[in-house]
Amino acid sequence: MESSFNLKGKIAIVTGATRGIGWSCAKVLAKNGMTVIINGVSDNNMLNQRVDELKELYGVESEGYLFDVSDSNAVKDCYNNIFKKYKRLDVLVNNAGIMIDALIPMISNEMLDKILDVNIKGAIYNLQYASRLMGRNKSGSIINISSIIGRFGNEGQTVYSASKAALIGITMSAAKELAPQNIRVNAVAPGIIQTDLIKNYAADKTMKLRDSIKMKRIGTPEDISNTVLFLSSSLSEYVTGQVIGVDGGMLI
């Protein structure tokens, strides 16, 4: 029997895919046969390097697009190019996001605009264009990368928490709207994950975080990307409108 994780012939786009969770998602989808289109925002050399890695490691087709997801025209151009070349899209991993911490009195207008533009507007722009492409074939999976912070909040992260909570609301509404077209929309809510966001934490802070997790380990990007793989595959074809926490039991 053919594996349900064999995604050969399918097309995916992963935003914010040059490092961390996004890069791990790009790799696991490519490993399972998908053509993977990746997005980066600032480093074209790194983006091209990642495209080459996907091709060399997994023998799949891959392309990279450098743009800010909060730029609606740039997002539109990317999806127009996907349509021209592939005529379809099967998976969107809405991963691009930024995190800036500030206590409530220190939240600036610039910070507020930047986080909401990328984490909310950027996600909606990609959702819009991806769903249009998926609607042509009445099939697709949209996976929004939210956060444990969007579900339960955290001190000093009011704006980031608001943006990730909004992404959960976006997921629920879009799932209802797009289900008749057989387009599934789900969110993944990572807990504490070993990425660049925490690599410079002091040892005592890292240990405190680890001790708050029931499984007694900080998660890896692969813990998230394996869940994304499930949501990209036919194994989850009856799953939509869900928020899947991947946090090692941090909240139980």
Per-residue pLDDT band for 1 (boundaries 50, 70, 90) equals very low
Per-residue pLDDT band for 2 (boundaries 50, 70, 90) equals very low
Average of per-residue pLDDT across 207-232:
91
Sign of torsion, CA 193 101 124 68? negative
DSSP for 218-236 reads -B-HHHHHHHHHHHHSGGG
Per-residue pLDDT band for 105 (boundaries 50, 70, 90) equals very high
Of 186, 161, 150, the closest CA to residue 171 belongs to: 186
72 burial (CB, 10 Å; 0-12 / 13-18 / 19+) is: middle
Per-residue pLDDT band for 33 (boundaries 50, 70, 90) equals very high
Q: Report how far residue 164's alpha carbon sits from residue 245's, in angstroms, rounded to the nearest whole number.
A: 13
pLDDT at 6 over 90: no
Residue 208: the pLDDT is 79
pTM here is: 0.94
Q: Phi, psi (5° rounding) for residue 86?
A: -115, -20
Q: Which two tokens stand for residue 164?
A: 């990730």
Residue 70: the pLDDT is 98
pLDDT at 120 over 60: yes
pLDDT tens digits, one per residue of 150-206: 999 989 999 999 999 999 999 999 999 999 999 999 999 999 888 876 666 667 777
Residue 202: the pLDDT is 67
Q: Phi, psi (5° rounding) for residue 246?
A: -120, 85
Catalytic residue (one of 58, 160, 201, 238): 160
Q: Report how far residue 173's alpha carbon sits from residue 7's, in angstroms, rounded to the nearest whole number.
A: 27
Cβ distance 1 to 28 under 8 Å?
Answer: no
Residue 52: the pLDDT is 98
Residue 194: the pLDDT is 85
Radius of gyration in angstroms for the set of CA atoms belonging to the chain, rounded to a whole number: 17
Q: Known catalytic residue: 160?
A: yes
Q: How far apart are the first and last CA of the chain?
A: 37
Residue 203: the pLDDT is 73
List, in sequence order, every beta strand (DSSP E) within the chain. Answer: 11-14, 35-40, 62-66, 91-94, 140-145, 183-190, 243-246
Domains of the chain: 11-245 (3.40.50.720)
Place of tokens 């629920």: 172
pLDDT at 135 over 70: yes
Residue 252: the pLDDT is 62
